[in-house]
Structure 1
Amino acid sequence: MTAPVVVSASMKHTATLIFLHGLGDTGHGWSSTMAALKPAYCKLICPTAPSMPVTFNAGYTMPSWFDLRSLDDSGPEDEEGIKSATKKIHNMIEEEVKAGIPHNRIIIGGFSQGGALALYSALTLPSQLGGVICLSGWLPLNKSFPGALKCPDTLRVLQCHGDCDPLVSFKWGQMTASILNTLIKSPDFKSYRGLMHSSSDEELSDVKEFISNSLPPV
């Protein structure tokens, strides 16, 4: 397992942000972007997914949190892989709690497949996190909800999606937003005109604001 990229807090460490990259990327891919958005008292952890053959990419081996079989909202899913990856994320959260950072001072987030895993991990964790950020992602195994829901319905959720996304369709993002509306009290869904399967300054500014509002100084 590749060691995660860790950016330490530059003052007393009172919060942690765990951010998960998209398919085929590594922890380095988002580390400098997210490091620029986090408060000084927040530690950043950007793990790298294990390499595995990915059905969606013709069986090529690449870093992937679980096997991606389709990017269609009704396509087959790797349930076992998603649940096993979720366990790893939950363990990562518990390591931070053991180190003295309470659940409500931890945010998990991710882009694309990483955003999907962050969302599923936050919703299936019995403790309330500081928040979850899903960029250009979706809710995996969505048919298992509301039964699979373990988190309190006051979880803070920021879901961002470009309306020109050619990979994870905007329609799928909207569908995820409407499912979240039935599970969580006030999830925030933000869309970006003309944005494809990537990020933008406007989106990153929204992410920065969400992090500082969810993890205020203590």
Structure 2
Amino acid sequence: MLDTVENETGADPQWSVLWLHGLGADGHDFAPIVPELVRPHWPAIRFVFPHAPVQPITINNGVPMRAWYDIVSADFRSRADSAGVDASIVELELLIEREVARGIPAERILLAGFSQGGAVILSALLRRTRPLAGLIALSTYLPDPAKAAAARVADAISVPVFMAHGTQDPVIPVAIARDTAQTLENLGLPVEWHTYTMAHQVCAEEMHALGEWLEARFAA
């Protein structure tokens, strides 16, 4: 199982958020965001930030770095190494099952991901047949959306999705992310879509909107 960084906001957590970082980062990358995001009246939450394995990245001249999958081309329809995505989904499912074993029902587990991490959680969602509380997809996209949509199983779950993207993103153009949001909506998933004047990053306004969305999940 992947090594992780964990942050519990209170004793006896009742919810879990599994948060996957982007290319070249690690599990520490988004850990500092917890105190900025969490509100005092929320239930206790366990944030789990896994470290992706180190592997060579083709598009970066084979330089090894932490990554959820290899990037083999610049074309967003084929850039993600599908075997690598599949392997990361397996690791993610193991982390979900560990949270369930620790007493957090799947209905109270949220998946979050930035960039590459978001691509993995979106791909995982379309294959799951068991419930989740929701998905948080930041500055990301769905690899090969046509293939992902065609592979979606008949009894796949439908969970709320929060998507946010920068209009100035030079890494993943906002149009690619908007297409992903449309694909998810076409598959019957409720998507809350936000854009911000920023690059490939997160911002305070985005975190406030995410907080409002999470507030609704906890209230439900």
Task: Please state how far the C-alpha of 1:174 moved relative to its aligned partner.
Answer: 1.0
The change in CA–CA distance for 1:126 and 1:156 in structure 2 (over 3 A counts) is same
Select which of 163, 166, 184 maps to 2:167. 163
Once residues 73 and 215 of structure 2 are traced to their aligned partners in structure 1, the CA distance between those partners, rounded to angstroms, is 35
- Distance in 2 between the 1:216 and 1:41 partners? 13
| Higher mean C-alpha deviation, range 1-10 or range 86-95 | 1-10
Q: Is the 8 A contact 1:35 1:44 kept in 2?
A: no
**Which digits, 9 at most, give the CA deviation of each residue in 1:116-161, with x for residues without a partner?**
11111222211121000110000123222333324323x1101111
Q: Paired residue for 1:182?
A: 186
Are 1:108 and 1:122, in contact at CA under 8 Å, matched by a contact in 2?
no
Q: Is the 2:126–2:148 Cα contact (8 Å) retained in structure 1?
A: no
Secondary structure, aligned partner of 2:210: helix
Shift of 1:40: 4.8
Q: Aligned-pair distance for 1:190?
A: 0.9
Q: Which blocks of at least 5 consecutive residues in structure 2 are unaligned? A: none
2:127 corresponds in structure 1 to: 124
Q: CA deviation at 1:74?
A: 2.7
Supply the distance in 1 between the matched residues of 2:174 and 2:79 (Cα, whole angstroms).
Answer: 19
Counterpart secondary structure, 2:32: helix
Counterpart code for 2:88 = A
Contact 1:71-1:167 within 8 A present in 2 as well: no
Q: What TM-score, normalized to structure 1?
A: 0.92
Moved beyond 4 Å, runs of 4+? none
Distance 1:58 1:71, change over 3 A: same
User: Can you give the 5+ residue segments of structure 1 that lack an aligned partner in the other structure?
Assistant: none
Report the equivalent of 1:17.
17
Equivalence map 1:64-213=2 (5 Å): 64-150=67-153, 151-153=156-158, 155-192=159-196, 194-213=197-216
Change (3 A) 1:17 1:50: same
1:18–1:112 distance in 2 versus 1, CA, 3 Å: same
The separation in 2 between residues aligned to 1:17 and 1:36, in whole angstroms, is 15
CA drift at 1:23: 0.2
Is this contact kept in 1: 2:123–2:148, CA < 8 A?
Answer: no
Superposition deviation, residue 72 in structure 1: 3.0
Sequence identity percentage? 30
Using the TM superposition, give the Cα deviation of residue 208 of structure 1 relative to its aligned residue in structure 2, in angstroms: 1.6
Rounded to whole Å, the distance in 1 between the matches of 2:88 and 2:2 is 15
AA in 2 matched with 1:55: T
Alpha carbons 1:4, 1:27 under 8 Å: kept: yes
What's the offset of the Cα at 1:8?
1.8
Structure 1 residue 162: Cα displacement = 0.8
Give yes or no for contact 1:13–1:41 (8 Å, CA) kept in 2: yes
Structure 1 residue 215: deviation in Å? 2.7
Given that residues 15 and 41 in structure 1 are in contact (C-alpha distance below 8 angstroms), is that contact kept between their aligned partners in structure 2? yes
What is the match of residue 31 of structure 1?
Answer: 31
Give the root-mean-square deviation of aligned CA atoms: 1.8
Aligned length: 215
Distance 1:117 1:6 in 2: 20
